[in-house]
Structure 1
Amino acid sequence: MISFILYVNDGDGVRAGDAIPVSVTRKHVRNLNLRIHRDGSVVLSMPMGMPAGRAQEFLDRRAAWIRKNVDSRLKRAAVQDLLAGQGASTYPLWGESVEVPDGGKLTLDEVDEIYREELARRLPETVMWMESQVGAHASSWKIRAMATRWGSCTPKTGAIRINTRLAAYPPECLSYVVAHELAHLLEPTHNARFHAIVARAIPNEPEIRARMRKPPVG
């Protein structure tokens, strides 16, 4: 077997250092086979004689699907790994590890409730600042537990939804997601104008996006 690394780029404003690495192995197979593991790693098996350019084209065509599934797996694992079994004596909050008092343990539902309360407390101030930076105003904000997205927006109504588990990550991650969704009120697609709007509000956007693909603490 021959192994090497390719990087998938969705062509949608992905900045340097934000591409997804893919471990590629040449095998005696007939077709390209793509797998995304629980830890977010991406593996591609390809026929022995196939040019690497064909594999790169294959990855780039599926970039949006790959990114969505990588993010989904990382978000599920990030909190659930810490709360496996009978619960957790520590949990991530705003990028720091918090210890449960008196040696107690919390279930995933209990931690999610903490996240909901924390996000409700911090969100108004973050929204006020980011609205001034982006130049857009949402009609409503809702906090929800979402499996595959950090946030979502309905441009026609101006409604924005934020994932409760953002409270596990450093506060700048919340600011980025708020700015990202607000930018969609001005530009629904992920084109160059959209990314320029986000970049004005969040100059270190690439670093934050990379941070959000890692576990909350560490």
Structure 2
Amino acid sequence: MAKEQIYIANLDIDVIRKDIKNMHLAVYPPTGRIRLAAPTRTDDEVIRLFAISKLAWIKRQIKNFKSQARETPRDFVSGESHYFQGRRYLINVIEHDGRNKVEIKNHKEINLFVKTGTSKPEKAKVFKEWYRKELKAQIPEIIKKWENVMGVKAHAWGVKHMRTKWGTCNTIEKRIWINLELAKKPKNCLEYIIVHELVHLLERSHNERFIALMNKFMPKWRAHRDELNKLPVSHTDWGY
């Protein structure tokens, strides 16, 4: 699979040549990274003309992503808003002598218990590990459900901090990874990403067959994708 880049109308477009039948164009949030997949032997000028024909669409997608809401950096102080499973909460920072922990108080508030003098990075770490624990608690049931529907089996899965993707799939080892940021998003968005990665066990590429399988297993996947891409994203850029 060869990778190159072309420059058209002040836009950098990544070109990936691989064993597919048709060209595919995608623009990824949050910054509008552009990727054009083309059959291996496609003439350079054909690729260039295809990209030019899609310029208006590309620019619309980039404009939409740039207007997407962004979360400001978190300070982990009382009254600050944080997201969990698509819901906005206000946190109460409570200093005590016990262990650091996070507890949901009600549908509007989350208590962050920390030892006196805990630094902002330490508070952030406590919150991050709570997110990790909560996300890991959701994933097994969703994976099992969709493995049964699709007739596939993921040999392993994990959660990690990723800068540019909501999820990834190693099709050789049959291992999927889920972005920790999905702990903040609605459960249907998490489920969409898991389905997306499991479908890669049936089709590695984002081609017509992949789309057909997504349509078969999750007919409303585009709505879930659009919802995910319209939600506020972290001040650190994320995309899928």
Q: Structure 1 length as normaliser, TM-score?
A: 0.62
Q: Report the Cα offset of residue 123 of structure 1.
A: 0.5
Residue in 1 that maps onto 2:125: 109
Going from structure 1 to structure 2, the CA distance change for 1:147 and 1:40 (only over 3 Å counts) comes to: closer
Contact 2:166 2:178 in 1 (8 A): yes
Percent identity of equivalent pairs: 28
Tell me, what secondary structure is at the counterpart of 1:138? coil
Q: Contact 1:183/1:198 (CA < 8 Å) preserved in 2?
A: yes
Give the one of 121, 128, 137 matched to 1:121. 137
Structure 2: distance between partners of 1:166 and 1:59: 34
Structure 1 pair 123–202 and aligned structure 2 pair: CA distance change class (3 A): same
Distance 1:59 1:118 in 2: 45
Find the counterpart in structure 2 of residue 87 from structure 1.
Answer: 76
Is it true that 1:213 corresponds to 2:229 in the alignment? Answer: yes
Deviation at 1:41, TM superposition (A): 6.8
Deviation sequence 1:139-188 (CA, Å, 0-9, x none): 00011010100100111110111111111111001111111111101110
Q: Which runs of 5+ in 1 are unaligned?
A: 1-30, 43-53
Asked if 1:187 corresponds to 2:203, the answer is yes
> How big is the shift at 1:212?
1.2
**3-state DSSP of counterpart to 1:212:** helix
d(CA) in 1 for partners of 2:67, 2:129: 20
Q: Which amino acid aligns with 1:143?
A: V
| Residue 57 of structure 1: aligned partner | 51
Q: Which residue of 1 aligns with 2:89?
A: 98
74 and 187 in structure 1: CA distance in 2 versus 1, 3 angstrom threshold: farther
| Aligned partners of 2:196 and 2:214 also within 8 Å | yes
Partner residue of 1:148? Answer: 164
5+ long unaligned stretches in structure 2: 1-7, 13-28, 33-47, 95-110, 113-119, 234-240
CA contact (8 A) 1:74 1:214 kept: no
Size of the alignment, in residue pairs? 165
1:131 maps to 2:147:
yes
| TM-score, with structure 2 as normaliser | 0.57
Aligned residue identity for 2:83: P
- Taking a change above 3 Å as real, the CA distance of residues 194 and 92 of structure 1, as seen in their structure-2 partners, is same
